[in-house]
Amino acid sequence: MSRLFGTDGVRGVANRDLTPQLAFHLGFAGAHVLTEETHHKPRIVVGEDTRVSCGMLGSALIAGITSAGADVLYVGVIPTPGVAWLTRKYRADAGIMISASHNTFEYNGIKFFSGGGFKLPDETEDAIEALINDPTLWERERLEGDKIGKLIRHEQGADEYREHLQSIAGLDLTGMRIVVDCAHGASYAIAPKLFKDLGAEVIAIGVDPDGYNINHDCGSTHVEKISEVIRDHCADIGLAFDGDADRLIAVDDLGDICDGDVVLAILARDLDKRGKLTKKTIVATVMSNLGLEHMTIAAGYELIRTQVGDRYVLERMLEDKFVLGGEQSGHIILLEDSTTGDGILTAIRLLNAVRNQGKSARLSEIRKIMTKLPQTMVNAHVPDEMKQYAMSHGDLEEAIAIREAILGSDGRILVRPSGTEPLIRVMIEGVDQAQINDLAHELREVIERICSKFGEA
């Protein structure tokens, strides 16, 4: 049986994989596990993005929480890091975000935060899952009367979060033209206003959510539009968020992408110049480009890699009190300011780093501190129940070894199952783009051939 929680909470197609019944169970069991040592009536912050299914799942989730005796502080549409921040601000016992991040509208997810605003460790998630699967949980006496939790609506929460970000920005963007793509998601109402209030001329796109268009041909996973708008309007920079605004992909003044690795390199150099890069170390994942590793060596920094998932980056950062970490996908954690990846905060700190090099500084020049190696990624569509079978198959191990020998020391191969989707991802880096494209597609064919024989195993 596969684990209920993936690398970023519980996620799946709404009303098929993630049903109202499961949302109720997650709320009920989560409230018990996260507040079991509470000696007062527990309170849990709940926020959501703009997906059409958020109403359905949110109602069930809140019913589960309140039936377990905890109050819900419902803060409406808000970026994921806003839920983490409000959980700390109001000293709530936990926070929950309803979102499938960068996925399209038919998906949704439920992710939990501790009272301290951190994503839950695997052990706590496993405890919630175990309680859901414990038949005695549903045999317990139901709470009644004043023991039932209540729903408290606090829809000004997103504005409070925006005001908090503005208060810590320390930034004057007067004279700067910025394109902001909110992916028709959780940042649509607050991000454009924030950057306008900081003095920028803002061109906002992806700010008309209808429940179905979140992440559709826009946002951090589809930067073609924002690149076009930057060129058409001679903008200084583009900021592309995903559906829940916990990640940022920047686009420079030439319309070229600056992914999470490039942003990490720029932020590391800026922090180091100000004496704030703890132990001169960056924490990234196995997916980060070799170019970031080369940059850190040249600068005298250390790069520590973790498994994929910003939760694992954060765990490593907390172990040794590192202040900077993140993923190529745009999840950047700035531990001095936040407990989780925060796309809008990352944008503020990136703009600070650019401005710190002078008002005439251009991101297209600053980004040259890191040279990316050619990289390609392809996805093999693999049902969750086949992932372990394919990953441990001898044919795949042999195929990877053969292609690693072809690349030699000038490249690397990473094959890993997605934690949130029915995919096995094949990532290859090397010096020849055409070669690595061919090798990646060959490995995808090997995986698909293995899976076609799954029933014969």
Distances (CA, A) of 18 to 97, 127, 311, 402: 14, 19, 21, 40
Tens digits of residue pLDDT in 113-172: 999 999 988 899 999 999 999 988 877 788 999 999 999 999 899 999 999 999 999 999
Q: Within this chain, do residues 109 and 129 fall inside the same structural domain, yes or no?
A: yes
Identify the domain boundary among 310, 341, 369: 369
CATH of the domain at 388: 3.30.310.50
The model's confidence at residue 2, banded by pLDDT at 50, 70 and 90, is low
Q: What is the mean pLDDT of residues 303-326?
A: 94
Task: Tell whether 338 and 226 lie within a shared domain.
Answer: yes
452 is annotated as an active-site residue: no
Confidence band of 254 (pLDDT split at 50, 70, 90): very high
Q: What's the rounded Cα separation, in Å, for the pair 23 and 126? A: 16
Residue 221 pLDDT: 93
Average model confidence (pLDDT) across the chain: 94
Query: Do residue 261 and residue 380 come from a single domain?
Result: no
Quote the CA–CA distance of 365 and 54 in Å, as a whole number: 42
Q: Which of 155, 172, 201 is the last residue of a domain?
A: 155
Helix (H, G, I), strand (E, B) or coil at 207: coil
Domain housing 437: 375-456
Cα distances from 282 to residues 130, 268, 271, 292, in angstroms, run 35, 7, 11, 10
pLDDT at 61 > cutoff 70: yes
The reply to whether 224 and 278 lie within a common domain is: yes
264 Cβ neighbours under 8 A, 6+ residues apart: 282, 284, 288, 292, 324, 325, 326, 332
Do residues 197 and 288 both lie within one domain? yes
Specify if 1 maps to a domain.
no
pLDDT at 456: 64
Task: Please indicate, yes or no, whether residues 397 and 264 belong to a single structural domain of this protein.
Answer: no
Classified as helix, coil or strand, 377 is strand
Looking at the domain assignment, is residue 2 inside a domain? Answer: no
In a domain, 135, yes or no: yes
- Here the tokens at position 299 are 């600068």
Residues 299 and 383 in one domain: no
184: which 2 tokens? 């028709």
* Range picked from 28-32, 70-74, 129-133 for highest mean pLDDT: 70-74
172 plus 315 within the same structural domain: yes
Among the candidates 138, 155, 172, a domain finishes at 155
* Domain annotation covers residue 4: no
**Of all residues in the chain, what percent carry a pLDDT higher than 70?**
99
Query: Which CATH number do you get for residue 81?
Result: 3.40.120.10
Residues 272 and 255 in one domain: yes
Q: Is the pLDDT of residue 97 over 80?
A: yes
Which of the following is catalytic: 99, 101, 288, 329? 101
- pLDDT category, 457, cuts 50, 70, 90? low
421 and 299, same domain (yes or no): no
What's the rounded Cα separation, in Å, for the pair 253 and 237?
A: 5
| Alpha-carbon gap, residue 30 to 36, rounded angstroms | 10
205 vs 412, residue with greater confidence: 205
Dihedrals phi, psi of 248, to nearest 5 degrees? -130, 135
Strand order in the sheet with 302-306: 302-306, 281-285, 324-326, 332-334
Query: How confident is residue 317, by pLDDT bands cut at 50, 70 and 90?
Result: very high
Same domain? For 119 and 214 the reply is no
Cβ–Cβ < 8 Å for 128, 30: yes
Burial letters for 227-246: b for 16+ Cβ neighbours within 10 Å, e otherwise?
bebbeeeebbbbbbbbbbbb
Residues 289 and 435 in one domain: no
**What does residue 431 show for φ and ψ, rounded to 5 degrees?**
-90, -15
- The residue among 93, 91, 169, 79 whose CA lies nearest residue 124 is 93
Q: How far apart are CA 342 and CA 336, in angstroms?
A: 12
As for how many domains the chain has, the answer is 3
